[in-house]
Amino acid sequence: PHLGEAAEEVALYIHRSYRVPIQDARQLTEWALEIGEAENMDPLLILAVAGSESSFDPAARSKAGAEGLMQVMTKVHEDKFEPFGGKTAAFDPYSNMRVGAQILRQLIARTGSVTKALKWYSGAANHSTDWGYSAKVLREHSRLLVAAGGESDDAVQLSRGKRTGPSYRHN
């Protein structure tokens, strides 16, 4: 199915900023739209977390044990991967985005704020700071919003300059 102009601009931004093959960038964008609808969540937030966490590398693995696109702590959330065939699904991009978005939605509901939810998502729930993690994700979200507004070239320039779009704000 054709993504539509806004989604195509987002895919172009991901392709150019993260050097993801364009077909993969389109697929990730399509999945974020589908998952965002299923989880009642901003699909650009899902993409912002994936970009910030793994630079869209589905094989990413942290020393702490976070895995896949959205760097899910598979050991902690193993049960959430059962519908997708078990913990090895952490490296399947779609399954990882589904589980990561589910966790993030639950954290937003629990904390009442995207910024607080991102702090918890990063593993900093018990710390006074998240060491800039939520700000990083929200900066990426602001660039994705610029791309979704039809300005993928501008969004790429913002990314390369490590600058934010006009919509960046804490909440």
Percent of the chain with pLDDT over 90: 77
Tokens at residue 93, please?
């991009």
* Arithmetic mean of pLDDT, 84-113: 96
The pLDDT score that the predictor gives to residue 167 is: 53
Q: Residue 168 above 60 pLDDT? A: no
* Arithmetic mean of pLDDT, 90-104: 97
Mean pLDDT of the chain: 91
Q: Residue 121 above 60 pLDDT? A: yes
Q: Residue 170 above 60 pLDDT? A: no
- pTM, two decimals, is 0.91
* Arithmetic mean of pLDDT, 9-31: 96
Cβ count near 6 (within 10 Å): 16
